[in-house]
Structure 1
Amino acid sequence: MKKVLITGANSYIGTSFEKYASEKYKDELAVETIDMIDGSWRQKFFSAYDVVFHVAGLAHADVGNVSEEVKAKYYKINTDLAIETCKKAKKDGVKQFVFMSSAIIYGESAPYGKTKLITKDTEPAPANFYGDSKWQADKGVRELASDRFAVTVLRPPMIYGKESKGNYPVLSKMAKKLPIFPNVHNERSMLYIENLCEFLCQVMILGKDGVFLPQNAEYSSTSEIVKIIANVRGHKIIVSRAFSWIISITSHIPGKIRNLTNKAFGNLSYDLEMSKYDFNYQLVSIEESIKRTES
């Protein structure tokens, strides 16, 4: 049995993983969590653990209106803390360090009407300080890898699931209240939390190192997600191309309206072939994942 230490308490990914591993892999993974806030973690020896799973970090901010002091805090937590934790894990003899990077290192999603497909040849190009803070950590922890110290970096797209934060709850709220919704075809990579947790369990049990881009087995479309949510919730909603002109107009209105439109209906996808590995983790389909999220 491998012992796993999650560095960062009360995170959505960390708590979800601990619960999943205890239910599905209790004979193979023993998981504990340590809080990183007060600094006492520096006095704890990591030598008792086979894997350190680092999830501590600051989530996306309103990047358009942030002080230099706040930006510095993002680098301190998202970059410096991640690298310091990785160095400690290596020094204490841990065999594997797993780090949650993000698709944000490739920049923002393409605006409405444009495509953005990330392939193996796509170079990271963060669009703001948040993305750069994750990218600097991504690079920094990988530099510490060695033959005796495996560094595993995940760059997932939008993660969603029951009680998740971010864009999904906004879509869910609209799907349950709006009478109509535009049928717009966009293409996004997403990752259901249980698929992510299965992926994490597999790379830890197998001791995989390197950079990974896990995603669901199929792309998602904003309109399709709204339609499924409404159906699951028993809410009647009309999803029609007759209303797509609204999105076309709002995508050209400068400022917040355009940003929100592009955020909801923009495109960002990973090449599906890049997310296939020699183990199966894409266990839950888009439709089933939404049913479980909304239940």
Structure 2
Amino acid sequence: MKHILITGKDSYIGTSFERWMSQWQNDYQIDTLDTKGDWQTHDFSPYDVVFHVAGIAHVDAKADMETLYYQVNRDLTIEAAKKAKAEGVKQFIFMSSIIVYGDSSKLGEKRVITKDTIPTPTNFYGNSKLQAEQGILSLQDEHFNVVILRPPMIYGKGSKGNYPKLARLAQKTPIFPDIENERSMLYIENLCAFIRLMIDNETRGIFFPQNKEYVKTTELVKTIAEVYGKKMRLTKAFNPLIRWGSKKVLVINKVFGSLVYEKEISELNYDYQIINFKLSVKKTEGI
């Protein structure tokens, strides 16, 4: 039996992983730890794996929060990894993010991240994640495996971020811009399957899990609408205005820009992409 400690109590990813893994409860013992309390006194020595999900993500990256981002995303991560190593944990898994590569492309451009792409974070959220990666990788040795995951947008039932905003829009609007773009995305159950493989195989390294399919923002919104039995009309009529606005409003590029991982760098010898895109939307919307 593998003993796993999730550091980051009540996080979306940690809670989802614990729930998903319960189907093999005879093979895994999972505990969670709240890192907001006196977590340093908790004994890590009984665990084979520490899965570190504590961090700040879906909060406005305002200038007055910069110190907090580094304290939580970088310093806490490194401190937890040092404790894990000192107390004999064999594997430390860290949830980083595609954000370490910076922003989406501008509207009409395509951005593909390969294994040779150098991280270039454009804000302190991305930089705090990258510095955390660098800090824990330096701890790795023959007895201590470090796994760094750089997922794209994660979604699923109860998720935060851009997906639920688009889902609410899909239920309200009868018309949506038809703009060509591509996004890498990752459904929560596919992520959970990926993490399980990392644990079972006692892996180390930097990984880029994603769904099999790239997603067009327009098709995402249309698919969500269809799940609710709504017909949505797509139009290119707004495209000139949106292209003009993208030069002034950054959120437009965030929604309609392109950002994908090259598919080859996300492949494993084992299949973790167990849920296809359309089914993932149905499961996310609870239908």
Query: Is TM-score (shorter-chain normalized) higher than 0.5?
Result: yes
1:128 to 2:123 alignment:
yes
Letter in 2 for 1:139: Q
User: After TM superposition, which residue ranges in structure 1, 4 or more long, deviate above 3 angstroms?
Assistant: none
What residue number does 2:188 align with? 193
The structural deviation recorded for 1:61 is 3.7
Q: Partners in 2 of 1:249 and 1:120 — Cα distance?
A: 33
The structural deviation recorded for 1:259 is 1.4
1:97 to 2:96 alignment:
no
Q: Which of 248, 264, 269 is the aligned partner of 2:255? A: 264
Q: Partners in 2 of 1:27 and 1:208 — Cα distance?
A: 22
Give the alignment of 1:222-241 within 5 angstroms.
Answer: 222-241=217-236
What residue number does 1:52 align with? 50
Q: Partners in 2 of 1:231 and 1:243 — Cα distance?
A: 22
Give the percent of matched residue pairs that are identical in Structure 1 and Structure 2.
51
Unaligned runs of 5+ in 1: none
Q: Deviations over 1:2-35 (max 9, x none)?
A: 0000011010000000000112x22322111011
Q: Partners in 2 of 1:214 and 1:55 — Cα distance?
A: 16
The TM-score normalised by the length of structure 1 is 0.94
Q: Partners in 1 of 2:106 and 2:133 — Cα distance?
A: 26
The structural deviation recorded for 1:245 is 2.9
Give the alignment of 1:178-217 within 5 angstroms.
Answer: 178-217=173-212
The answer to whether the 8 A contact 1:191-1:214 is kept is yes
Letter in 2 for 1:66: A
SS in 1 for 2:51: strand
Q: Which of 265, 270, 282 is the aligned partner of 2:273? A: 282
SS in 1 for 2:190: helix
SS in 1 for 2:63: coil
Q: Partners in 2 of 1:153 and 1:28 — Cα distance?
A: 23
Unaligned runs of 5+ in 2: none
Q: Partners in 1 of 2:242 and 2:275 — Cα distance?
A: 30
The structural deviation recorded for 1:152 is 0.7
What residue number does 2:18 align with? 18
Q: Partners in 2 of 1:165 and 1:189 — Cα distance?
A: 17
The structural deviation recorded for 1:249 is 2.9
The TM-score normalised by the length of structure 2 is 0.97
Q: Which of 112, 115, 119 is the aligned partner of 2:114? A: 119
Give the alignment of 1:20-35 within 5 angstroms.
Answer: 20-23=20-23, 25-35=24-34
The answer to whether the 8 A contact 1:186-1:222 is kept is yes
The answer to whether the 8 A contact 1:158-1:189 is kept is yes
Letter in 2 for 1:220: V
CA RMSD of aligned residues (A): 1.1
Q: Deviations over 1:225-276 (max 9, x none)?
A: 0110000011221013344333223223x2xxx2121111011100000000
SS in 2 for 1:113: coil
The answer to whether the 8 A contact 1:61-1:130 is kept is no
Q: Partners in 2 of 1:217 and 1:235 — Cα distance?
A: 26
The structural deviation recorded for 1:176 is 0.6
SS in 1 for 2:18: helix
Letter in 2 for 1:232: V
What residue number does 1:66 align with? 63
The answer to whether the 8 A contact 1:28-1:205 is kept is no
Q: Partners in 1 of 2:206 and 2:188 — Cα distance?
A: 19
